[in-house]
Amino acid sequence: MNTRQSLALAALCLLTAVALTPTKAEESFAHTCDHVNPKLVKLFGAGGFRGLQSYGTGILVSPDGYILTVNSHILNTQDLRVHMADGTHYPAKVVAIEPELDVALLKIGDNKLKVEDLPYFDVVEAAKRPPVEPGTGVLAFSNQFQIATRDEPMSVQHGVIAAYSKLYGRIGIFEATYKGDVYVVDAITNNPGAAGGALTTRKGELLGLIGKELRNELTNTWINYAIPINARITVTQADGKEATVSILDIVEKKEQYKPLTPNKKNEGPGVYTGIILVADPVERTPPYIEDVVPGSPADKAKLRPDDLIVYIDGVLVGDIHTFHEVLSRYHPNQTVKLEIQRDRKLQTVTLTLEKPKPKKPAAKK
């Protein structure tokens, strides 16, 4: 038999093998789900007021309880909680935040409480894999809409990588922090609470972290994307030098990780109202006006000391922290409707926001 014949025979054998392989009508991903789910955690933290959910998702990246997630407002709390796949729950703390990649590393437990032998994603291995091509089938795992608590498994969705591209997104009126490459998916994965979930291949291999709820800057449509696990971007440091940051770096350095650029805190350009609020000594000080800067938007709107700000455009602002949080979503030149309580009566005033002054007014921290 010559080479050509044997090759032909081999090809024939291969064809027959293909034809004879029993085709299971529809392959279930139940096995993949069982495999992936224990490596994900449900996060519960800050939020809960209008428009901001208090829950999110994270992935375990070590057997002793380090968690990778997307940096978001839910981490701004002393009382961050983690629900594991087996139903146990733990406190957690933020170990490091990488502002350019918009990711955070958390650690379960404290000095007394230690965890070990947890199932986890090997980020080193995952980061070695080249990006997958558009058209690749993927699965998305997250605790979107807080559907699961305790031992209830994550939601799983299926989709296809639609593009591997730069992200141009915004949250509300903010520009998105992360501007590197992302996987764009054709499934509706980026729902409330999904950020920090896992995008995997259909075999459950980690591809990326599901991102936030963003709209495309150009079309104003929702984008469903994930930050690739091998994401690395070049940043310019304060001294003008360029450096590279990557997810792998933060996962490897853990507590030793020092971000190269200041935390962007996901803020908008900032606005100026001329409102000076009372001092904020306790955690939930109501936003009473202490003083109003003459000639400022607040002055023009005839706001007065002792007015209590109750709503900003219909959003209840119960304390000074929330007041700043809500106001930080606005742009200069936007008008905003404040509902204030003056002499036990609710009144509505309209304020036109201005650009922040070079020197920050006293009330702004």
Which residues of the chain form contacts with other proteins (CB under 8 A)?
A: 18-19, 21, 23, 25-26, 28-33, 37, 86-91, 109, 113, 115, 139, 144-145, 147-158, 187-189, 191-192, 222
Q: How far is the CB of 325 from other proteins (least distance, A)?
A: 19
- 63 DSSP 8-state letter: T
CB nearer other proteins, residue 62 or residue 190: 190
Tracing tokens 């006006």 back to the chain, one arrives at 289
Q: How far is the CB of 245 from other proteins (least distance, A)?
A: 31
**How far apart, in whole angstroms, are the C-alpha atoms of residue 274 and residue 272?**
6
CB nearer other proteins, residue 32 or residue 322: 32
CB nearer other proteins, residue 125 or residue 145: 145
CB nearer other proteins, residue 86 or residue 313: 86
Q: How far is the CB of 188 from other proteins (least distance, A)?
A: 3
Contacts 24+ apart (CB under 8 A), 319-323: 319/283, 319/284, 319/285, 319/286, 319/287, 320/277, 320/278, 320/280, 320/285, 320/286, 320/287, 321/280, 321/283, 321/284, 322/49, 322/287, 323/277, 323/287
**How far apart, in whole angstroms, are the C-alpha atoms of residue 236 and residue 168?**
19
**How far apart, in whole angstroms, are the C-alpha atoms of residue 225 and residue 60?**
20
CB nearer other proteins, residue 90 or residue 178: 90
Tracing tokens 């989709």 back to the chain, one arrives at 159
**How far apart, in whole angstroms, are the C-alpha atoms of residue 103 and residue 180?**
13
Q: How far is the CB of 294 from other proteins (least distance, A)?
A: 40
CB nearer other proteins, residue 86 or residue 217: 86
CB nearer other proteins, residue 189 or residue 230: 189
Q: How far is the CB of 115 from other proteins (least distance, A)?
A: 8
Q: How far is the CB of 24 from other proteins (least distance, A)?
A: 8
Helix, strand, coil percentages in the chain from 3-state DSSP, rounded to 5:
15, 35, 50
Q: How far is the CB of 353 from other proteins (least distance, A)?
A: 24
Instruction: Look up residue 360 and give its amino acid.
Output: K
Q: How far is the CB of 158 from other proteins (least distance, A)?
A: 5
Cβ within 8 Å of residue 83, ≥6 positions away: 41, 42, 44, 89, 149, 150, 151
Q: How far is the CB of 1 from other proteins (least distance, A)?
A: 27
| Distances from the Cα of 3 to the Cα of 13, 14, 156, 310, angstroms | 15, 16, 49, 85
**Would you state the structure tokens that stand for residue 318, as one six-digit string?**
């119960």
CB nearer other proteins, residue 25 or residue 282: 25
Query: CA torsion sign, 358 to 242 to 218 to 184?
Result: negative
CB nearer other proteins, residue 34 or residue 290: 34
